[in-house]
Amino acid sequence: MNNLPWPDIFVDAPSFDAGNSPDWREDSLLADVIALLRNRGLVRGPGQFYGFDPHPAAAGKLDWDKVTVMDALEWHATCARLLDGVA
What does the DSSP 8-state code read for residue 65?
A: G
Which structural domain, as residue segments, surrounds residue 51? 46-87
- Domain-terminating residue out of 43, 58, 74: 43
Residue type at 72 in one-letter notation: A
pLDDT per residue as tens digits for the range 47-68:
888 888 888 888 899 888 999 9
Closest CA to 38 of 69, 11, 16: 69
When divided into structural domains, the chain yields a total of: 2
Q: How large is the average pLDDT for residues 59-86? A: 88
pLDDT-derived band of residue 32, with 50, 70 and 90 as boundaries? confident
The pLDDT-based confidence of 16 (bands split at 50, 70, 90) is low
pLDDT score recorded for residue 1: 47
Report pTM.
0.60
